[in-house]
Chain A
Amino acid sequence: MKDFNRIASLFRKFRTHTILEDEVHELRDWLKGKENRELFKRAMRGERETHVMRELKKYDREAAFRRFTERVHPKRRRIRYYVRLAAAVALPIVLSVSVYWWMETPARETEPVAEIISLTPGQKKAILTFDDGTKMALGDAIEEKIVLNEGAYLKIDSSGLRYDFKETGEAIKMNELFVPRRGEYNLTLSDGTRVFLNSDSKLMYPVAFGDGQREVILEGEAYFDVAKDEKRPFVVKTSDLSVRVLGTAFNVKNYPDDLCVEATLVRGSVKILEEDQEMLLEPGEQARLDRSSGKMNKIQVNTALYTSWKDGLFIFERERLEDILTTLARWYDVNIFYQRSTVKDELFTGDLKKYDGIEEHLKMLEMTTNVQFEIRGNMIVVK
Chain B
Amino acid sequence: MKKRRTVTPTPRPAPPEVRRDDAGNPWTADQVMQEIVAIVCDLDDNLAPKDVTRSDSFTDGFGWDEWFKMRLRKPVERRLHESLSAFLLMERVKTVGDLVDYVWSSMEKA
Co-complex (A, B): no
Give me the interface of B with A, judged by CB distance under 8 Å. none
Residue positions of A touching B, CB distance < 8 A: none
